[in-house]
Amino acid sequence: MRMRFTYSAFLVVGAFSYALAQSVVPKNPFGHGPEVVAEGHAIFNQTCTTCHGMDGSEGERAPALVGERRFFRLSENALYDTIKHGIPGTGMPALNLPDESIWKIVVFIRAMRSSASEVDVPGDVAHGKQVFSGKGGCVKCHMINGEGGTIGPDLSNIGAQITLKRMKEALTVDGPIPTGYQPVKVVTLKGTTIEGVAKNQDNFSIQLLDNQNHLHLLDRAELKSVEESKISLMPHNYDKVLSREEYNDLLAMLAKQATVNLHKKVEGDGEVGR
Ligand code: HEC
Ligand code: HEC
């Protein structure tokens, strides 16, 4: 009899604390509108940049919160917990902020981390495709779903791989040339000139993909000269050579390229990056 009582009392208490736990799981009360993102951005820049960098970049005492999509706490609740309680045993302190401010920062961080395919990019996708293979000339160097050139990266999944911000930068801002896309011009001892990008190279050989999409494996001993260019083959002036409409439609189309979404919206930690 007594045993029984204890047991059911246990159940009641258990059910109670379960209900309690359910009711205290915090929830974002603001939604994800651009004005919330902007408010969160402002609070972040005021409060967090003693350690993290401005706008979520790397700071002197803490890692970047925006940028490469690696190792991020992704779910809103995990972010909320981190900001509210800190990360024990690390330099990330519990921050004594009102819940409202915490939620706005969470919305800001999430917005900055989303891939282009996860955000709303207005524009005419069909027209964007035309710009890609017509005026933009992208198809000469890039492949989408098996069609196009190979000298630039395959863009079939680009919407899922990079943020909208990064996508705009790729089209408009000079940046460091990523490995595998270093433009080179070689002249062989026999006098043949080959231009393209170095896919791989070491002290003895160069693997060169030429502008006609042919791969050459070259022995450095058989080369008269090797010239590397500092300028990427990727043009960075599309905000100038395309009209605003063409540019926006192109972005809308690229953002939709998420055929093999490796990082589907995983609610939780440990997402693997590009
Ligand atoms: C006193 C320095 C300091 C301050 C102030 C600070 N952080 Fe951090 N934060 C850190 C450090 C250090 C880490 C890395 C902890 C680790 O090693 O995992 C971190 C990690 C984080 C992470 C987890 C990493 C990730 O990418 O998921 C989040 C989220 C975060 N901080 C958000 C914030 C926000 C938002 C604020 C302002 C409200 C803030 N931090 C203020 C030092 C700080
Ligand atoms: C002459 C060849 C060429 C043309 C034309 C070209 N690209 Fe590129 N593109 C490249 C190369 C090479 C890279 C990689 C090197 C780099 O990023 O500097 C690249 C990189 C990119 C990236 C970055 C990919 C990433 O993973 O970060 C995007 C996005 C992109 N191009 C889109 C376009 C679009 C859209 C067009 C047309 C409007 C276009 N490219 C036209 C050669 C070209």
Q: Dump pLDDT digits (tens) for 49-101.
A: 889 888 777 777 877 776 554 445 567 888 899 999 999 899 999 988 999 99
Same domain for 38 and 101 = yes
Q: Are residues 249 and 142 in the same domain?
A: yes
What is the pLDDT, as a whole number, of residue 224? Answer: 96
Q: Please check whether residue 270 lies inside any domain of the structure.
A: no
Residue 95 lies in a domain: yes
Residue 265 lies in a domain: no
Which residue is listed with tokens 């089209």?
171
Domain range enclosing 62:
25-113
Q: Give residue 72's pLDDT.
A: 52
Is the CB of 138 inside a 6 Å radius of any atom of ligand 2?
yes
Q: What is the rounded CA–CA span in Å between residue 49 and residue 36?
A: 19
For ligand 2, atom 40, the nearest C-alpha belongs to 138
Same domain, 67 and 195: no
Question: Which residue type does 74 have?
Answer: L
Do residues 57 and 170 share a domain?
no
Query: 149 CB under 6 A from ligand 2?
Result: no
| 196 found inside a domain | yes
CA dihedral 29, 33, 35, 36 (to 10 degrees): 30
Same domain flag for 224 and 136: no
51 Cα: distance to centroid of ligand 1 (angstroms) = 7
Number of domains making up the chain: 3
In 3D space, the residue among 46, 30, 44, 173 whose CA is nearest the CA of residue 112 turns out to be 44
Residue 62 is predicted with a pLDDT of: 78
- CATH code for position 218: 2.30.30.100
Single pTM value for the model: 0.69
Question: By alpha-carbon position, which residue is closest to atom 23 of ligand 2?
Answer: 170
Q: Are 172 and 186 in contact (CB under 8 A)?
A: no
Quick one: 39 and 146 in the same domain? no
Distance 152 CA to ligand 2 centre (A): 6
Residue 63 corresponds to which tokens in the numbers above?
């890692």
Residues 66/72/77/79 CA torsion (nearest 10 deg) = -50
| CA–CA separation, 5 and 180 (whole Å) | 71
Residues 160 and 247 in one domain: yes
Question: Is the C-beta atom of 50 inside 6 A of ligand 1?
Answer: yes
pLDDT at residue 67 in the model: 56
User: What is the distance between the alpha carbons of residues 66 and 68, in angstroms, rounded to a whole number?
Assistant: 7
Q: How far is the CA of 46 from the centre of ligand 1 (A)?
A: 14
CB of 77 closer than 6 angstroms to any ligand 1 atom: no
Q: Are residues 42 and 70 in the same domain?
A: yes
Give the pLDDT confidence score for residue 153 in this predicted structure.
Answer: 93
- If asked whether residues 47 and 137 sit together in one domain, one would say no
Is the domain of 59 the same as that of 95?
A: yes
Domain boundary (95, 113, 131) is at 113
Residues 128 and 107 in one domain: no
- b/e 106-136 (16+ beta carbons within 10 angstroms → b): bbbbbbbbbbbbbeebebbeebbbebbeeeb
- pLDDT, position 175: 86
pLDDT at 148: 93
CB 215 within 8 A of CB 207: yes
Q: Specify if 30 maps to a domain.
A: yes
Residue 59 Cα to ligand 1 middle (Å) = 10
Whose structure tokens read 């043949």?
Answer: 192
Tell whether 54 and 102 lie within a shared domain.
yes
Show the low-confidence residues of the chain (pLDDT under 50): 1, 3, 5, 19-23, 69-71, 261-274
Domain end position, chosen among 96, 113, 130: 113
pLDDT, position 245: 97
203 found inside a domain? yes
CATH of the domain at 128: 1.10.760.10
Residue 69 lies in a domain: yes
